[in-house]
């Protein structure tokens, strides 16, 4: 079902590209709040995480004042910890992100655009320890994870060559990052500035 949805979105992107009117570069700079959800053997652990950087770069194609899509690359780093009276569990996960948001723009509105699209995360490194002892390895984690992006951008600075918009984005993982039956989801809420450069 996930692959079918991603294939459909990819075909839509190709359609937009066929009739694209403009091409430019896109840059995101902000902060991200990871949300780690882990459940094993019916027991859920509530991990706490710190803010990390949300930096992505890529190209946008289409009409920036109506319908367009982007292909972006970035990196995700999650460091989280769970503490109780019995255990201290730490978790780290690093991945390469490839995002393809499809954007619809609004004219003369405080909300400048909304975007929805798929994201592919490719595992680079991961580890988990309990009371200082390693308990998980990269071999039991999925090498590729699929997420859904939802973004809202707000009115900002606009010119012929450069547009700058504040944004807020939520990333929801569609599959479990764990391949051995445990339920591990790495969601995230990010916000910052999006810069669109026109040729």
* pLDDT tens digit sequence for 1-17: 455 555 555 555 555 55
Q: Which residue has the tokens 């040729």?
A: 199
Closest CA to 78 of 160, 162, 173, 14: 173
Q: Which residue has the tokens 């039991």?
A: 140
Q: How far apart are CA 93 and CA 96, in angstroms?
A: 10
pLDDT, tens digit (0-9, with 9 covering 90-100), for 19-57: 556 889 999 999 999 998 888 777 777 888 989 999 999
Q: Report yes or no on whether pTM surpasses 0.95.
A: no
The percent helix, strand, coil of the chain (3-state, each to 5) is 10, 70, 20
* DSSP character string of 120-172: EEEEEEEEEEETTEEEE-GGGB-SEEEEEEEEEEE--EE-SSEEEEEEEEEEE
Residue 132's region, left for phi above 0, alpha for psi from -120 to 50, else beta, is: left
Average pLDDT of the segment spanning 141-163: 92
* Predicted local distance difference test score (pLDDT) of residue 136: 65
Contact 61, 23 (CB under 8 A): yes
Query: What count of Cα atoms within 13 Å lies in the side-chain half-sphere of residue 16?
Result: 24
């Amino acid at each position: 079902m996930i692959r079918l949805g991603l294939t459909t979105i990819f075909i839509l992107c190709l359609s937009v590209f066929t009739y694209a009117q403009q091409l430019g570069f896109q840059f995101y700079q902000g902060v991200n709040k990871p949300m780690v959800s882990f459940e094993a053997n019916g027991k859920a652990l509530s991990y706490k995480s710190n803010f990390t950087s949300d930096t992505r770069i890529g190209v946008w194609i289409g009409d920036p004042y109506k319908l367009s899509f982007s292909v972006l690359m970035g990196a995700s780093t999650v460091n989280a910890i769970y503490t109780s009276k019995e255990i201290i569990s730490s978790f780290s996960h690093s991945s390469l992100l490839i995002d393809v948001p499809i954007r619809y723009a609004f004219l003369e509105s405080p909300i400048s655009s909304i975007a929805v699209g798929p994201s592919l995360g490719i595992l680079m490194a991961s580890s988990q320890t309990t009371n200082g002892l390693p308990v998980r390895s990269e071999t039991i984690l999925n090498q590729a994870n699929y997420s859904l992006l939802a973004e809202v951008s707000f009115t900002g600075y606009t010119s012929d060559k450069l547009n700058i918009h504040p944004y807020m984005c939520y990333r929801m993982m569609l599959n479990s990052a764990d391949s051995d039956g445990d339920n591990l989801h790495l969601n995230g809420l990010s916000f910052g500035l999006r810069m669109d450069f026109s040729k």
